[in-house]
Structure 1
Amino acid sequence: MRHVTNLCVRGYHLDVYGHVNNARYLEFLEEARWRFFEEQAVIEAITGEALAMVVVNININYRRAAVIHEELAISTEITRVGNKSFVIHQEIALAETGELIADTDGTYVLFDNALGRAVAIEGEYKVLLDKLCG
């Protein structure tokens, strides 16, 4: 299941070079993931059990700089669900033309806050994430 979040580049997103700073893209991607998971009621299902979805690896390919007033479309989809981790693929593109700004594949785990460690993805969590997978 693919989800798209639109964001407009604002002045406070820019660095001294007049384009979106590389670190800011992580915030854009996180905002899109939260919207995706909130709309699919994943946040309530997982955090209600004192679990968190934690990034353990993320690699970003920067394709083109984004600048002020550009409307960005951030697509988010789960592409793989394993026994202990899942992968989320995201792309940031210009909303109007689809020109790719950046893309990423991130690996996430379910983290048990009480135990202080990642736990197996099983039962209702496996069913929920599988349902959302590509």
Structure 2
Amino acid sequence: MIRMIAIILGFQLVGEVASRALGLPLPGPVLGLVLLALACILHPALAEAIRPTASGLLSHLSLFFVPAGVGIVAHWDLLRVQGLGLAVAIMGSTALALAAGAWAFSVVARLTGTEDRQALKDQGRE
């Protein structure tokens, strides 16, 4: 298990180093995750080897939010002053993201003809 955690963290480290060295606008952990996914596609044995460890980490994912909670408590005064603006920004960006996702889905459905087939299924014609 420790070996598998080291492999996962190694990919994160490689992603972080590559992101900083190349000046990429992509966070290092994201780049590391992409590299890990590619490695798992190219070497299915790797995917099977890290699956139990990855599942264990995912089942305890809530523990990774503890540092964020500590950060909120540590900056409570700033949050009290800027909290309304942050709340509006978070709710607004969430609404825009949902609207953009729905719009993209409808465009793709229209382009692929999926929208029409679903209407026919609903009417019992297909």
TM-score, normalised with respect to structure 2: 0.25
Bigger fraction of residues in strand: 1
Higher relative contact order (CA 8 A, sep 6+): 1
Bigger fraction of residues in helix: 2
Larger Rg: 2
TM-score, normalised with respect to structure 1: 0.23
